[in-house]
Amino acid sequence: MTLRVRIHSLLDPASDGHAARRIRGFEVALILVGISSVSAGTVDGLSPEARLLAALVTGVVAALFFAEYLALWVAPENPHLHHSSPANARMRWVLSAEGIIDLLAVLPAVAVAYGGARLGAESASVFVLLWVLKLATHAQGAGLIARVFHNERSALSAAAALFLIVLFSAATIAHWLEAERQPEHFGSIPASLWWAVVTLTTTGYGDVVPLSAAGRMLGGLVMLCGICVLALLAGILANGFAAEVRRREFVRIWELVARVPFFADTGAIAISDIVDRLRSRSYPGGATVIRKGAAGDSMFFIVSGEVEVRVGERTLELRDGDFFGEMALLDRKPRSADVTALSPLTVLVLNVADFYQLAGQQPKLIAAIEAEAVRRRSTDLQAPA
């Protein structure tokens, strides 16, 4: 592996390796330290030593971001840029949203280098904004939020239209009712909009208030409309989030199910029925997954890793594609053996309620599990206790 490939795999946001995750964690910590040091520099009455320390920390953080920016050298390793020449790949990365944000984040380093002591805390504070932006590129949920807004755009625009209708109606009626008494605040519809926005969003600064009885009644009505519109927006977004998270989880579990040979012959419709009911779970090597005698509340399909099943004095191993924990569910008895992870283990878990529902809907699948359970039971009975 060349140095360029190695550095790219460490810095790639999609990389799941231990070192890559540590570097990402370090970078987030660096951004937070940088934001804190720049913020601290804007506090009045800070001692000269503390101010110097804050400036020093800001400089170090900016210099580290500068070093990170130089890692654009590894851009040709990005799978999306593979088809471009190295120079082209670097240029495309520089012009990408991530490249521009990273460039903006290194500006403090350049400013510190050229501005030196003249760079006051106030002018440096603008970089807090740039570093907050950099933090956003690390937020794993940022893509999810964008997706939810995109999916729900028609419902959101309907709610936004409702908001605008109420806003302009409120501003117009308030102008009719209050213009004579308070021409400075309600003399025109645009002037009344400030009161309408503050009331509709239920912020209520109290700097502008209607004085006539009718104006106050209008204010109450606008507040109630505001609560309804905000509730509607919150409902749309909450629903959109839940649906998107469910969809992503479905795709993730679907991919895991595809790795379990037991489901290989199951048709697409049956699989989607099963995928909906499975949850993934991971165990470190050495962890006890099932304890003999415990109540059985779920069964497990191994996606990766090995487990050891201990039945009396006998031990046997199960690996990728095997399942376990079915006997307690079928027999409605306590667990018949101890099951321990021999290596880092990823399993798909099917809980007892879903197991019985699936038995009604996918009898063939449960029959295959039952046949294996019968075989296991007979070998366990033959084995010495």
What is the contact surface with ligand CMP in residues (CB under 6 A)? Answer: 290, 296, 309, 311, 316, 324-328, 335-337, 339, 376, 379-380
What CA–CA distance (Å, rounded) separates 217 from 223?
Answer: 10
Taking the complex as a whole, the smallest distance from the CB of residue 139 to ligand CMP amounts, in Å, to: 41
Q: Minimal CB distance to ligand CMP: which residue?
A: 328
Q: Answer yes or no: are the C-beta atoms of 332 and 299 closer than 8 Å.
A: no
Separation of alpha carbons 294 and 301, rounded Å: 19
How far apart are the two ends of the chain, measured CA to CA in Å?
A: 52
CB of 306 to ligand CMP, least distance (A): 12
Kindly tell me which of 106 and 369 has the beta carbon lying closer to ligand CMP: 369
Q: How far is the CB of 311 from ligand CMP (least distance, A)?
A: 5
CA distances from 4 to 16, 84, 95, 145 (A): 18, 16, 20, 32
- Tokens coding 59: 């400089």
Task: Judge whether 174 and 203 are in contact, CB under 8 Å.
Answer: no
Beta strands in 204-297 (DSSP E): 278-283, 288-290
Nearer to ligand CMP, 123 or 379 (CB): 379
Beta carbon nearer to ligand CMP, 215 or 296: 296
Taking the least distance from each CB to ligand CMP, the nearer of 8 and 376 is 376
> By C-beta, is 274 or 302 nearer to ligand CMP?
302
- Distance CA(22)–CA(312), nearest Å, equals 42
In the bound state with ligand CMP, the residue whose beta carbon lies nearer, of 37 and 336, is: 336
Whether 219 and 250 have beta carbons less than 8 Å apart is answered as no
- The CB-of-363 to ligand CMP minimum distance in angstroms stands at 20
Rounded to an integer, what distance in angstroms lies between the CA atom of residue 311 and that of residue 325? 13
Q: Is 378 exposed, middle or buried (0-12, 13-18, 19+ CB in 10 A)?
A: exposed
In whole angstroms, how close is the CB of 354 to ligand CMP at the nearest point? 15
DSSP letters spanning 137-179: HH-TTHHHHHHHHHHTHHHHHHHHHHHHHHHHHHHHHHHHHHT
Question: Nearest distance from residue 292's CB to ligand CMP, in Å?
Answer: 7
Please identify, using beta-carbon distances, which residue of 113 and 374 lies nearer to ligand CMP: 374
Residue 260 or 290: which CB sits closer to ligand CMP? 290
Burial class (CB in 10 A: 0-12, 13-18, 19+), 364: exposed
Shortest reach from residue 280's CB to ligand CMP, in Å = 18
Min dist CB 307 to ligand CMP, Å, is 9
Beta bridge mates, 290: 339
- Measure CA 306 to chain center: 30
Q: How far is the CB of 240 from ligand CMP (least distance, A)?
A: 39
Nearer to ligand CMP, 303 or 327 (CB): 327
Report the distance separating Cα 3 and Cα 381, nearest Å: 57
